[in-house]
């Protein structure tokens, strides 16, 4: 399974560091779409990722359009807090890209205006606004790999 985790304008370095760690554990690729709310040299980002940075493929893109140009539109899934299908009811085929928005506002409206079947959400109680970004990425990423019986993982 080739999984691309795409973070659109992430704001909190610790979340991105934790997500990098998850990507390293799975062998997923991490894509960061600018502007970033931190420097890639940020000590909190590095600390959260521990010594796993060398084990993860990270690409930075100036825009989501640039990401799409380089990696295509196939098998894109956009993670939202409430819209679309449940993440466990979606077919994920390789290469798969799951796109997550920034911590404070989520994905921009233009990315949510596509077909409803491309939107995925993690179910939660009604009064809870959202999960922490790094937790949401871990939940969905591990589901993708579980479906494929954890290829190349022990």
Domains of the chain and CATH, by start? 3-147 (3.40.1280.10)
pTM of the model: 0.93
Residue 144 CB burial class (10 angstroms; 0-12, 13-18, ≥19): buried
**Digitized pLDDT (tens) for each residue of the chain, 154 residues in all:** 689 999 999 999 889 999 999 999 999 999 999 999 988 886 766 666 567 888 899 999 999 999 999 998 878 999 998 889 999 999 998 899 999 999 999 999 999 887 778 999 999 998 888 899 999 999 999 999 888 877 777 6
- Rg (alpha carbons) of the chain, rounded to whole number: 14
Residues 6+ apart with CB under 8 A from 145: 1, 3, 26, 151, 153
Residue the block writes with tokens 């990507």: 23
């Amino acid at each position: 399974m080739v999984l691309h985790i795409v973070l659109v304008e992430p704001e909190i370095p610790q979340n991105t560091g934790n997500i990098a760690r998850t990507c390293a554990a799975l062998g997923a690729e991490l894509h960061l779409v600018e502007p970033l709310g931190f420097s890639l040299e940020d000590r909190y980002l590095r600390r959260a990722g521990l010594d796993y940075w060398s084990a993860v493929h990270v690409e930075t893109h100036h825009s989501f359009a640039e990401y799409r140009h380089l990696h295509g539109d196939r098998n894109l899934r956009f993670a939202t807090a409430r819209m679309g299908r449940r993440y466990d009811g979606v077919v994920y085929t390789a290469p798969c890209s799951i796109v997550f928005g920034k911590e404070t506002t989520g994905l921009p409206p233009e990315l949510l205006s596509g077909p409803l079947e491309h939107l995925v959400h993690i179910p939660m109680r009604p009064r809870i606004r959202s999960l922490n970004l790094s937790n949401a990425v871990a939940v969905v990423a591990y589901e993708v790999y579980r479906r494929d019986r954890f290829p190349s993982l022990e």
